[in-house]
Amino acid sequence: MGSIPHCAIIRTLMDYNHWMREALIEANLALAAGEIPIGAVVVWQDTIIGRGRNRREELHDPTAHAEILALREAGVARGGWRLSDATLYCTLEPCPMCAGALVNARVDSLVIGIRDPKAGAAGSVYDLVRSPWLNHRLQVTSDILADEVQELMQRFFTNLRQDKSEP
């Protein structure tokens, strides 16, 4: 009766997990480089057209968040700044800067690993990606591979505390 068949839901979830695993690869690279482990990929027509990981310390760049770097690469790949019909997968809910960038880029959908209750701008602190006041809105899905993302974040902050407590 117009409901989505189970096989379609399972297929979609498998896709979400597949692409989020790619974002997790980026997050792991960030961890290895000593950065807060956040990763993102932009997917368009079943292909990754942009990848990014947090490189704020390495690049001395306050804007070098995973999502921004992935969007920049995707724009070059598409040959224009409009990323209509694309989906961005990111391990952590975007901050206001990155949420604003998704709106500017006209990205279609956003898939999130875990929420960021302190600075998330896709529903937690602000909801810039579904704002009635801005000229574009995204579809949002969250809690994809949440346990794996959470474990990675915890590993980073545990390492940080250990480093600080060492003489």
In angstroms, give the least distance from the CB of 1 to a copy of itself. Answer: 40
Residue 72 makes contact with a copy of itself by CB under 8 A = yes
Residue 63 makes contact with a copy of itself by CB under 8 A = yes
CB 36 within 8 A of CB 156: yes
Residue of 22, 35, 57, 67 marked catalytic:
67
DSSP string, 81-92: S--TT-EEEEEE
Residue 75 makes contact with a copy of itself by CB under 8 A = yes
Cα dist from 51 to 55, 59, 65, 74, 151, whole Å: 12, 16, 11, 8, 21
Can you tell me the distance from the alpha carbon of 30 to that of 32, in angstroms, rounded to the nearest whole number? 5
Residue 16 makes contact with a copy of itself by CB under 8 A = no
Catalytic (active site) residue 93: no
In angstroms, give the least distance from the CB of 117 to a copy of itself. Answer: 10
Residue 36 makes contact with a copy of itself by CB under 8 A = no
